[in-house]
Amino acid sequence: MTAGRLAGAAVVAAGATGGALIGWLAERRATAGVRDGSDPEAVALATPVEGRPQWVTAPDGTRLHVETLGPEGAPTIVLAHGYTMSQAAWHYQRRDLSGEFRVVTYDQRGHGGSEDAAGGDYTMEALAHDLSAVIDQCVPAGEPVIVAGHSMGAMSAISFAQQHPELLGKRVPGFVLVSTSGSDIIAGILGASVGALPAITKALLPRVVGLRGRLGALPSDLTFLAIRQISLCPEASPAHVAFTERLALGCSGEVRAALIPAFTSLDLTEAARLVTVPTLVLAGERDRLTPIASARHLVELLPEGQLVELSGIGHMAPLEAHEAVTAHLRAFARRILAEAA
């Protein structure tokens, strides 16, 4: 090897080493609060919130892990979590709402303690049928229920409204949609670039997100920083980032990949117009996955939509802005359920 090539190789190696060192130092700074216990949210998240478990069987035979918290006989709220998460993503809402409400949370098919989809069906319609099964089997007959969804959970709620319009009003008098969109998420993230290569984008995304199983499921400097950059924001609590990272890595690569087509072809425009009950939309001002513009457009489609923008918050609003999300959800549920009584 010539001296020039040796010098070039040295520069590349030094750059790679320097980049790795910078990443390592950044991760150590970012997670310092988790490691030394100074982040109060780390203590809160380390205290488990346990509900009464049960199994719900979806129409296609998929078994869903469900937990119920709060007093029997109290008004009910059903919470649906987002992509790669589990019902634990509603940690604060499960903890803080269960004193007043009967809170029902469940793991989406293929997530958390639920079974993988029977027959491999991970369409938005299947997720909507799951929500319907949870309501039917976990909420006392004839009682009204508020449905709240985060991200993919909110999308399944909109799809549910389209597929079960007969349940809107008396049975489901209101929705709370958090950090979500009603159209192609990939296009929202990539902007006009997705229009240039739609076929390639849709073909490669499932393969890319399916790599997790091959790359390992353990937290790392890279995964922590990536989760913070994409799903939260730089100022987010280190404990919230680490908690999101743990949940995301718990979702298999196969399930991640299987759900991607539901997002790349997502179009809930007509479905949103059919949500004829009061609907509160909570959106993070700094959400990169479902940008604030998507929430504003969604509210324009909803016949009775109301938008609340959360300043300085990313995609994981139920964690990052848990006090605000819980307060809005509580106030909305109180008002709508009282009107429905």
Q: Is 333 a member of any domain?
A: yes
Is beta strand 102-106 parallel, antiparallel or unpaired with respect to 63-69? antiparallel
Q: Does residue 40 sit within a domain?
A: no
Angle between helices 238-249 and 221-231 (to 10 degrees): 100
Strands of the sheet containing 279-284, edge to edge, are 52-57, 63-69, 102-106, 76-80, 145-150, 174-178, 279-284, 305-310
Residue 64 CA, distance from chain mean position? 17
CB atoms within 10 A of CB 336: 22
> Could you report the average pLDDT of every consecutive run of 10 residues in the chain (341 residues)?
43 41 48 62 92 98 98 97 97 98 98 97 97 98 97 97 95 98 59 43 45 52 87 93 94 92 87 97 96 94 97 97 98 96 81
pLDDT of residue 202: 45
Q: Note whether 218 and 248 are within 8 A (CB).
A: no
- What is the per-residue pLDDT for 255? 95
pLDDT at position 266 is 82
Q: Report yes or no on 16 lying in a domain.
A: no
Report the CATH number at residue 334: 3.40.50.1820
Specify the pLDDT at position 223. 85
Domain that holds residue 277: 45-340
Number of folded domains in the chain? 1
Q: What pLDDT is recorded for position 201?
A: 47
Residue 222's pLDDT is what?
Answer: 81
Q: How far apart are CA 269 and CA 280, in angstroms?
A: 17
pLDDT score recorded for residue 40: 87
Domain contains 23: no
**Within a domain: 31:** no
Specify the pTM: 0.85
Token representation of residue 118 = 């029977």
Predicted pLDDT of residue 243: 95
In a domain, 131, yes or no: yes
Is the residue at 125 inside a domain? yes
| pLDDT value, residue 265 | 78
**Confidence (pLDDT) at 30:** 53
- HEC states along 190-253? HCCHHHHCHHHHHHHHHHHHCCHHHHCCCCCHHHHHHHHHHHCCCCCCHHHHHHHHHHHHCCCH
